[in-house]
Amino acid sequence: MNIKGCCNKHLYLFIIISIVTSILFISYYDLSFAQKDKEDKEEADDKLIVKTRIHLKDIDMENTKSIRVVAFINGEDIKQDIPISSIDKTKKTLNVDLIADKENDIVDANTPDEYFVCAYQVEDVLKNYNSFTKFDCNESDLVNIDSPTVINLFRSGSLVFSKSKSIYDASLNAPKGPEIDTVKIKVYAPLADKKDAEKLVIAVMIKGQIQSEVIEDVQAELDKSGDSTIKRTFTFDRKTDIGLIQIGDRYHACVASEDLRPPEGSECEKRIIKNLNKVNGIYAR
């Protein structure tokens, strides 16, 4: 027997098997990564991004502990707390990506659907709990659902906080009513032009707190009430985790449903708290 020839034959066979195995192994991982990249891209394509640009010039970096960003976008409520220690103070702006699904079981995002974003400068609540928290809010339309929509907060020239602060300051000299533990906000969603609506969501935000409720059967509720307006009253604890709800605080309400089109699947409105001892009303569309 030619031992050398036999060994060479086995060696060649081993090399061929190794090469084939390597090719299959590489092909498998190439396909796996390609599939994962495809899935990641599809998942990204399903997301709606609102890029919130917070201008840092007017942020009190010394006394602010965190920035709370709260929003209602395409039927979804979003809340983020950003520690000041995590912010690059050499930058002029902080970009916060707020991400929602383009489609859900209530509404599919489209232009010019409305949304709002608010940001609060949260100080040391143990020291400044009763103070008036500095904030800014912006309400806008979706510009493009396939690329990020940009919205600005704390930009020079914004009068949102100064208007609220003037109402708060005036309230300090007004007669004090009884102390209250809760703040009630009643949201109205008139549907005289959309009486065939089937399902919608109502949301309201104040002092960085957001509540929402889905009305599963709009028709049943309209039949029961005998009018064309859906109403919901939301109760908030006046003592929030970022401070007391005060006269002057701004609140936003939105209603969203695919059945509201045209014009928008999501509509929002805003008001300012002027009396803590009564129910504060707002029409969301």
Spell out the residues 6+ positions from residue 155 whose beta carbon is closer than 8 angstroms to its own.
Answer: 55, 136
Q: What is the pLDDT of residue 6?
A: 55
Spell out the residues 6+ positions from residue 51 whose beta carbon is closer than 8 angstroms to its own.
Answer: 95, 96, 97, 98, 148, 149, 150, 151
Beta bridge partners of 105: none
Of the candidates 229, 254, 283, the residue with the CA atom closest to the CA atom of residue 115 = 254
Segment 227-269, tens digit of pLDDT: 999 999 999 999 999 999 999 999 999 999 999 999 999 999 9
In this predicted structure, the answer to whether residue 3 has a pLDDT above a threshold of 70 is no
Q: What is the pLDDT of residue 38?
A: 44
Does residue 246 contact residue 273 with C-beta atoms inside 8 Å?
yes
d(CA 109, CA 144): 10
Segment 168-208, tens digit of pLDDT: 999 999 888 788 999 999 999 999 999 999 999 999 999 99
Of the candidates 207, 223, 175, 192, the residue with the CA atom closest to the CA atom of residue 280 = 207
CA torsion through residues 58, 119, 141, 252, sign: negative
Beta bridge partners of 255: 202, 267
In this predicted structure, the answer to whether residue 4 has a pLDDT above a threshold of 70 is no
Segment 22-80, tens digit of pLDDT: 665 555 556 555 454 544 444 568 999 999 999 999 899 999 999 999 999 999 999 99
End-to-end CA distance of the chain: 94
d(CA 207, CA 250): 8
As a whole number, mean pLDDT of residues 112-133 equals: 94
d(CA 284, CA 280): 13
